[in-house]
Amino acid sequence: MNLRGRKASLPRAGHARPEYVSSDGLVVHHYNRDGRVKDYDFSRLPVAEPLQRSFAALFADRCVPHIWAIKAAATASRFAGTVITATTARRLIANEDAMIYDNPHALVLCHYKRSNALCHRDGVKDTPSLDHCVPGCGNIVRTDQHAIQLRERATALEVRAARVPGPLGERLRGNADKLRGYAHAHDQTCITLTEDAG
């Protein structure tokens, strides 16, 4: 029944809701108002398959049916997380490829893998030592937002460098150059999902 108390009309025989994610969980299908479909293949991302599936699921969740989701995502607020079940939480905790730690002080994410960790020189541990983050570590992941923040921090260091005497100012300018180098390296190596990716 609808709000006016009338029976709602049923869809035509044989109607089925379109699938937004492929059966393997790696391809997201977007439908516009005219019924055109655009496919986004997350298996092309150079990360582990569980992370590809996670990205595909997050991307599909942000999609609004029957409009191009890129426009909706561009105007949406920042992703603040999602509610998961206890079973999903246990699966994520058991999956080493899904463990990502935020290090806001170093402006990086850590996609922690014990074998690549440079933060543990004295032995192997189950979690990263975020206070010992090493810039050349293979676990480091940066987002575009991190690159912006690196440049902002570099500018702040240069402003401080102009106000202090010689050697200290040179050290601050050197650190600012390093931060800009990290941001530039991110810009050169980042993976951007484009509309043509499907």
In sequence order, which residues have a C-beta less than 8 Å from that of residue 157 and are 6 or more positions away?
Answer: 172, 173, 175, 176, 179
Same domain, yes or no: 33 and 77: yes
* Cross-strand partners of 141: 109
Within a domain: 124: yes
Residue 151: predicted pLDDT: 94
What are the two backbone dihedrals, phi and then psi, of residue 28, each rounded to the nearest 5 degrees? -105, 130
Low pLDDT (below 50) residues in the chain: 66-80, 197-198
Residue 22: predicted pLDDT: 78
Same domain, yes or no: 75 and 128: no
Within a domain: 4: no
Q: Which two tokens stand for residue 23?
A: 């059966």
Look at the chain and report how many structural domains it folds into: 3
Average pLDDT score, the chain: 76
Contact between residue 20 and residue 63 where contact means Cβ atoms under 8 Å apart: yes
Question: What is the residue range of 39's domain?
Answer: 20-97
Q: What is the DSSP string of 77-106?
A: PPP------HHHHHHHHH-GGG-EEEETTT
Same domain, yes or no: 24 and 92: yes
Same domain, yes or no: 92 and 63: yes
Within a domain: 11: no
What are the two backbone dihedrals, phi and then psi, of residue 108, each rounded to the nearest 5 degrees? -145, 165
Same domain, yes or no: 77 and 114: no
Over residues 21-60, the pLDDT tens digits come to: 777 878 887 766 666 777 888 888 777 888 888 878 777 7
Same domain, yes or no: 44 and 113: no
Within a domain: 9: no
Contact between residue 103 and residue 133 where contact means Cβ atoms under 8 Å apart: yes
Within a domain: 58: yes
Same domain, yes or no: 51 and 91: yes
Within a domain: 71: yes
